[in-house]
Structure 1
């Protein structure tokens, strides 16, 4: 498929199932890993062609631990996507970030288990993942008013929320956000040499932060829906701050390496 690598990708999280107001085209690329979560819609925002994929499916049919992450990232790259913004819902592990805050993490900690998290099941291929998020994309978002720059997002397996003890443990370690989908999405993007940045909308304080309170799914979805209009507006504004041509080299993980297969 011919492409110039300029297309941007947006992967929408819980409640973020649509993105475009104007006319779009719909595609569902084949991948070696099955079908992506949903059909991908392609439209235009400013100077950019943008491919949008709802992470959990068009009607939230995939829970965090069943999302076809490998198919999703492969499908986007097949379309020519080389830069991805990944909006997601998160719990806050600090009172500093209340419901409605938008945080762009700069680190993650993986506490998932059993998820397919690599394309390299053969060959001794390793990727640099010390800094898991693209600095260029992060800067496009953190330059917007009111956005919190930095923080560590711990990714739990789900679908359950954390116990109070787990939440307190994460907070004591200095983590600031908790989420269920940020891994393996970020590392799969790096393996495909796709620039990737998470954009986190805080929906709640996690269980260990406020005594007597716990996280309930209905409250998370309600908070996400309440802020969805502004959140989409923020993502569109970030897209407007991204250069037409990609100039990032941070996310080119395979420079000088011979891969066991050709990337799409």
Structure 2
């Protein structure tokens, strides 16, 4: 469970379907039929994406706004974080990790690998209390944690990053975590009050697991090393990837 209080979902608009399906999932949390429970979880995830504006609107929104009875939430910081991180990784493929760290004004010679780990998390964090920033910061911290897993020195880190440049998976991993953190941020405290700690925790675990399993079947079709993140085309790529992933999760088939 998260520790910071999220935004209680509104009672009108597209949130109504989500609340109803979330209650249905809670009422079936102990059923032995895992296929049924996964379908209920899939519906909750689909409803959530619809409730925050839908895949297209949310992925392109840079400011939360009203559209009739619907509030379209912003993903501006999430996309900016993905762009900054993608640019950093891509620059390592061009000039090596030492040049890339120098560009970030990180004096790696004075840092242990654990200190560098913490420094990179700090560099890619945004100082803001918004739901967008909260989710982006937590998601990026987890992605950086994964990069440093079983890494003993800067050479190991560079090798691991160069390997990741051959795929787009690392950005998909960020968005996977970012989308879940947006869900968690909105429902964490809300669910505790309605359903109790244990059920709320189990629902969040089910949602996180479903998103992870579902996105394992999502095909990333470009390599990070082929993207110039400093251009408008790079920004468009980041937005398109978020939209495609959201559409993949929002598409629910009875």
TM-score, with structure 1 as normaliser: 0.29
Q: Which has more radius of gyration?
A: 2
Higher normalized contact order (CA 8 Å, seq sep 6+, divided by chain length):
2
TM-score, with structure 2 as normaliser: 0.29
Q: Larger helix proportion, structure 1 or 2?
A: 2
Q: Larger strand proportion, structure 1 or 2?
A: 1
